[in-house]
Amino acid sequence: MLETLKEQVCEANLELNRRGIVIYTFGNVSGIDREAGLIVIKPSGIAYDIMKPEDMVVVDLKTGDPVEGKWKPSSDTKTHLEIYRAFPEVRGITHTHSINAVAFAQAGLDIPALGTTHADYFYGAIPCTRELTKEEVEEAYELNTGKVIVDCIKERGIDPMAVPGIVVKNHGPFSWGKDADAAVYHAVVMEAVAEMGLKTLLLNQTASMQQYVLDKHYKRKHGPGAYYGQK
């Protein structure tokens, strides 16, 4: 099971590179074996073009300690762990510095739901967290990044599986899903809708979408009444 997860997580990381939403060693993907209480995550600072499944690092969900692997885990590991601990339905997490999503993060703004492409995958605005305090950054930066993500989702009453992503103020996007592949998929879509949203707001600062359009497009792909695609 763990070897299969390493292969899946490695492939998901490589997909980020293929989709052009990471450069150099930016970004990371993880996946979790909930039954074993272990996560598999990209190693820190390893280039995508030489990455293999055996390079993935295994980390204990409870303690945060590496338990297998020859490299140090991603520097964002503690952020991933906080999200996994808070939301049991999440089984894959992705972090990137994709340009358009980062633009919203740096502006401290939610990515608004302005069209049906957004509505197909995110049931409402993609939130932007609050700014971390000086103490939070200096004491336990990555851990506290995870905490502000979790706090933002809970405080806003968001279903994390209906809005499977967030932007951290001044930092960038995190996304998640039912597995590592889904987390990457949502990262790619988030970058696309961020670009669409940014260009839309440049043309019309008061652009919006009616709730009934959001409802229709999200629910035709998700939930008991979904009818999009093949059975």
Which amino acids are annotated catalytic?
Answer: 120, 228
Domain coordinates in residue numbering, the chain: 2-219
- On average, the pLDDT of the chain sits at 96
CB 93 within 8 A of CB 76: no
pLDDT value of position 22? 92
Q: Range with the lowest mean pLDDT among 49-53, 58-62, 81-85, 130-134?
A: 49-53
**What pTM did the predictor assign?**
0.95
Pairwise CA distance, residues 40 & 37, whole Å = 10
pLDDT for 230 beyond 90: no
Does domain 2-219 correspond to CATH entry 3.40.50.720? no
Q: Name which of 46, 37, 44, 201 is nearest 111 in CA terms.
A: 201
Residue type, 115: G
Rounded to a whole number of angstroms, the distance between the first and last alpha carbons of the chain is: 28
pLDDT value of position 226? 87
What tens digit of pLDDT does each residue of 190-204 get? 999 999 999 999 999
pLDDT for 231 beyond 80: no
